[in-house]
């Protein structure tokens, strides 16, 4: 699936994501130390799963964000091999090359392919992280 098609399908979700990632507090309430981010996963069949995560650390890795999304994942040496039974087992992480789990960041309403691996990238409050199963760019 091309990134353009993926971005188009997820554009409708951006409004939802904005709501999900905003912290809502009562007037005069003490500032919360809980951070929020959204994890968006698009599967090969076009279905999309959006999860809101919370964390108290100033930042977490992109891989940790995916772990905290509550999806069944398999990983190997920082690479995401399988999400919810889509992809390859950890023992043969790139069995379906050139298809793999690509990692993206949403910035300013646009999806950008990650140039840093998910294990190294730091997710902060309000971030929207994306994963898509498909061919390499």
How far is it, in rounded angstroms, from Cα 110 to Cα 113?
10
pLDDT recorded at residue 32:
60
What pLDDT does residue 110 have? 95
CA pair distance 112, 44, nearest whole angstrom: 19
Order of strands, sheet of 86-87, starting from the edge strand that comes earlier in the sequence: 73-76, 79-83, 86-87
Cα–Cα nearest to 20, from 49, 47, 42, 46: 49
Tell me what pLDDT residue 49 has. 98
Model pTM score: 0.79
Closest CA to 3 of 101, 137, 105, 127: 137
pLDDT means over runs of 10, the chain (137 residues): 49 43 45 89 96 98 98 97 98 96 95 96 98 84
Nearest alpha-carbon partner for 83 in 99, 71, 93: 71
Q: Domain 3-135 adopts which CATH fold?
A: Ferric Hydroxamate Uptake Protein; Chain A, domain 1 (2.170.130)
CA gap 77, 72 in Å, rounded? 17
pLDDT at 2: 52
Q: What is the pLDDT of residue 31?
A: 56
Supply the pLDDT for residue 135: 85
Closest C-alpha among 78, 76, 87 to residue 41: 87
């Amino acid at each position: 699936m091309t990134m353009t098609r993926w971005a188009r399908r997820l554009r409708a979700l951006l409004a939802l994501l904005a709501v999900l990632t905003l912290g809502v507090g009562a007037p005069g309430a003490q500032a919360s130390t809980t951070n929020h981010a959204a994890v968006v996963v698009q599967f090969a069949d076009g279905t999309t799963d959006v999860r809101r995560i919370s964390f108290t650390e100033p930042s977490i890795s992109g891989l940790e964000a995916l772990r905290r999304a509550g999806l069944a994942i398999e990983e190997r040496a920082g690479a995401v091999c399988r999400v919810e039974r889509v992809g390859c087992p950890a023992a043969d992480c790139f069995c379906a090359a050139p298809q793999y789990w690509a990692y993206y960041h949403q910035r300013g309403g646009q999806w950008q392919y990650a140039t840093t691996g998910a294990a190294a990238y730091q997710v902060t409050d309000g971030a929207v992280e994306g994963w898509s199963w498909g061919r390499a760019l």
